[in-house]
Structure 1
Amino acid sequence: MPGVPERVERLIASLGRLEEPVVQAMRAVPRHDFVPELAMVPHDGSLRVIDRNTDSEAWWEAVYRDESIVTQLSDGALAITDLAGVDGVVELPAGADYTSSSSAPSTVAGLLNLLEAEPGHRVLEVGTGTGWTAALLAHLTGGSGQVISIEVDPAVAEQAAKHLASTGNDRVRLVVGDGARGHPEGEPYDRVHVTCGVRAVPYAWVRQARPGGVVVAPYVPGFGTGHELRLVVTPGGLAHGRFPGFASYMVMRSQRLPPGGVLSHTRDHRAGVTAVDPRTIGHAPAGADLAIAALTGLYSRNLIWDDAYRLWVFEPATPRAAAVTWRPGQAEFEVRQYGDRPVWDEVVAAYFQWVAWGEPDRGRFGMTVAPEGQRIWLDEPSRTIG
């Protein structure tokens, strides 16, 4: 069985270009110290249980692959031991969801690259999770008491505290609370590191950072893919930044869709057809996703079965939605619109607006966060699109 240093080096080599401080942090803070003995990994659309006590090698292989490891289900209401399966493969019951995890190492490293935390920096981390990124941040920043990590779930925070204590990481201060409010007792922060997806960036993070401070977060607007977001705080109390790449995270609890809010349409609908293949929009590049989200505020979901594809676009927690279905051999595609808002027409118009702009990629879009809210822009902050 390969030793820990070999596994760590193999993982680092698989992650592509990393800043040297991040490489050194990943060597100093091995991931396995922060993964529970019983957890789950994605497996062919389901989940596979990994158990260090019954199949040690499978557990080690999962820990040092570049993939996320699920550590909590349904905010702790559903235990891994409650799931029935065959050969360790389980399917979640209806309504269950992943609610905490050890994020994929490439995602962790990517955000740390963008954060550029240095020795002496004071860091606020939002979302402690297993404690691994808090320990990585402690290594990056050096001295005692530089990292404050806030976790909304007391049980998750308790487990993270055990991981940190067992590895001698007493330089992290753990706080149980709503990370959307930040932690004003520790401001000003040089860096704010967010490990949960947000649709709206809380202004508290900007207010609590010093001028020149950096906020890094996964931006998950709900339409299409998620995005890395890197903001720099200005002396005037604004933060400006761009979307350097892809990021996928579980959404912050206070910004989750309400129960039943994913697709709350009624059976009543208006039937029609469209010449626009729904895959054109459902498979569009990340720049198009950003533009459509900013221009419409709508969400999307893909559904694939047999030889058909369906794109849902919807306004959360309302009956306003549309389902557009592609089947092979069709010249036009079925549209079912629900509610009094023509959401499909708005999405199509937003997509072709993006085309008219020259199909800008993700890197040309940016965000400004102000006390009154956030706005998305193209190329420069003065060119607001939503």
Structure 2
Amino acid sequence: MDLAARMDRLIAGLRPAGEVGDRVEQAIRAVPRHLFIPPVGLISPRRTGHAYVIDRDADPGAWWDAVYSDTSIVTQLDDGATGLRDLKGDYTSSASAPSTVADLLSLLAPERGDRVLEIGTGTGWTAALLAHLVGASGSVTSVEVDASIAEQAAKNLVAFGTPAHLVAGDGVDGCPDHAPYERVHVTCGIRTVPYAWIEQSLPGAMIVLPYCPGFGTNHALRLVVMPDGTAQGRIPGFASYMIMRSQRRAADRPARGPADEHHLTTRIDPRTIAEAPAGADLAISALTGLSSNGSAEPDEDGPLYRMWVSDPDDPYSWAAVDWRPGVSEYEVYQVGDRPLWDEVTEAYARWVSWGEPDYRRFGMTITPEGQRIWLDRPERVLGKP
């Protein structure tokens, strides 16, 4: 299959979901993805979960098929400490799936002549797409925290002839040297929106980012910078990205000692919380500030679903709630004195009492003092009790 046919198939796959408009489609056609993908990458299919390596030299057909499919391609593990062929480790950089790229670019809606700040260069493909969208009269500044990734991205951009400013540094600081901006495009997961991005943007500027508070679903957030130096906007969809390095949280959850370990029970099925709609995730996150994850792997006792809930500010405060078939009370193992599971279930009940609002009814306001999640209108602020 030639490149044109592969491109047609990719674009056709994006259209039914509505992720790609005419201008974004033109950019994708003008900036071939394969020019920004390394010879060796890692694919982690959503359905099977069995990661595998693609190698352009060893199996060019599989490599080309992956590049022009709607899948993300992992390009780094453990910040470069682990080789891709090891097939294990934390994913720390990737070429995002084309549908996600197209969706966020459509939300950003860059115009010709815009000055754009991109946070997270990665392979450089999105920077090149942005440069195409803003044209010769615009400019793109892209910030990449990883020096080795920035070096390769710079080579990719130069080889393609993209006139983008590439800066190696922590994207949390933005890039004041090239400010002000009309658009800010973020390609890493954000828990707390840095105010520097608002400071470096003009009134009316748009900021699009993956909002990943840590509880359940991750979201796309579209903000508009206001004349008073604040920014506000709503959550129009979903976007899941690797968390910005400076906003990562510790994964280890050690126990303090027997006195801090609590064995409790609950009658609330943890799957009720884990499978709740995205609006519930936003409400629980805003009301409790807690994080969660889950696993459906069976153990030696048979089928098991386990949900972990943790306090991101206290590594000694966490809980695990187990579902097993045929029981009416579920085990809760809690470390620390904070009643994490009770807080989660109470927040869920509050969301239900509000009429189970959809995620589109939630929004965020950013001020110099921090960020606030609200429901329906900026005055209805949600927060930890």
- Report the TM range for the smaller structure's normalisation: over 0.9
| Equivalent residue number for residue 4 of structure 1 | 3
Match of residue 66, structure 1, among 64, 70, 74: 70
| Equivalent residue number for residue 48 of structure 1 | 52
Q: Do the aligned partners of 1:145 and 1:172 also contact (CA within 8 Å) in 2?
A: no
Q: Deviations over 1:99-137 (max 9, x none)?
A: 110001111111001000010000000000000000000
> Quick one: distance in 1 between partners of 2:225 and 2:108?
13
TM score, norm. by length of structure 1: 0.94
Match of residue 106, structure 1, among 99, 110, 120: 99
Pair 1:312-2:308 in alignment: yes
Q: Deviations over 1:24-67 (max 9, x none)?
A: 10010111111000111014323211000010000001111111
Q: Deviations over 1:173-195 (max 9, x none)?
A: 10111100000111110000000
Which shifted more, 268-277 or 68-77? 268-277
Question: Cα distance 1:364–1:145, how it changes in 2: closer, same or farther (>3 A)?
Answer: closer
Which shifted more, 296-305 or 40-49? 40-49
Pair 1:369-2:361 in alignment: no
Q: Do the aligned partners of 1:288 and 1:359 also contact (CA within 8 Å) in 2?
A: yes
Match of 2:101, SS? Answer: helix
**Fraction of identical pairs, as percent:** 59
> Quick one: distance in 2 between partners of 1:140 and 1:131?
14
| Equivalent residue number for residue 204 of structure 2 | 212
Q: Do the aligned partners of 2:252 and 2:315 also contact (CA within 8 Å) in 1?
A: no
Match of 1:199, SS? Answer: coil
Deviation at 1:145, TM superposition (A): 5.9
Pair 1:332-2:332 in alignment: no
Match of residue 39, structure 2, among 34, 37, 40: 37
> Quick one: distance in 2 between partners of 1:145 and 1:381?
33
Look up the equivalent residue of 1:315 and give its one-letter code: D
Look up the equivalent residue of 1:148 and give its one-letter code: T
> Quick one: distance in 2 between partners of 1:45 and 1:38?
19
| Equivalent residue number for residue 87 of structure 1 | none
Match of 1:150, SS? Answer: strand
Question: Cα distance 1:112–1:262, how it changes in 2: closer, same or farther (>3 A)?
Answer: farther
| Equivalent residue number for residue 244 of structure 1 | 236
Q: 4+ residue runs of structure 1 moved beyond 6 angstroms?
A: none
Match of 2:28, SS? Answer: helix
Deviation at 1:168, TM superposition (A): 1.6
Match of 1:222, SS? Answer: coil
**1:232-381 correspondence runs (5 A):** 232-258=224-250, 261-266=251-256, 268=258, 269-306=261-298, 307-316=303-312, 317-381=314-378
Q: Deviations over 1:54-104 (max 9, x none)?
A: 1000000111111110001111112225x2xxxxxx3x1xxx311110001
> Quick one: distance in 1 between partners of 2:255 and 2:222?
35
Deviation at 1:264, TM superposition (A): 3.4
**1:109-124 correspondence runs (5 A):** 109-124=102-117
> Quick one: distance in 2 between partners of 1:152 and 1:285?
33
- Unaligned regions of 5+ residues in structure 2, if any? none
> Quick one: distance in 1 between partners of 2:255 and 2:161?
51
> Quick one: distance in 2 between partners of 1:53 and 1:313?
44
| Equivalent residue number for residue 191 of structure 1 | 183
Match of residue 382, structure 1, among 366, 379, 382: 379
Q: Do the aligned partners of 1:39 and 1:49 also contact (CA within 8 Å) in 2?
A: yes
> Quick one: distance in 2 between partners of 1:148 and 1:318?
36
> Quick one: distance in 1 between partners of 2:174 and 2:57?
38
Deviation at 1:266, TM superposition (A): 4.4
Look up the equivalent residue of 2:82 and give its one-letter code: L
Match of 1:204, SS? Answer: helix
Match of 1:57, SS? Answer: helix
TM score, norm. by length of structure 2: 0.94
Deviation at 1:262, TM superposition (A): 4.5
Look up the equivalent residue of 1:374 and give its one-letter code: Q
Match of 1:21, SS? Answer: helix
> Quick one: distance in 2 between partners of 1:267 and 1:230?
44
Q: Deviations over 1:314-372 (max 9, x none)?
A: 11342111111111111111111110100000000000010011100110000000000
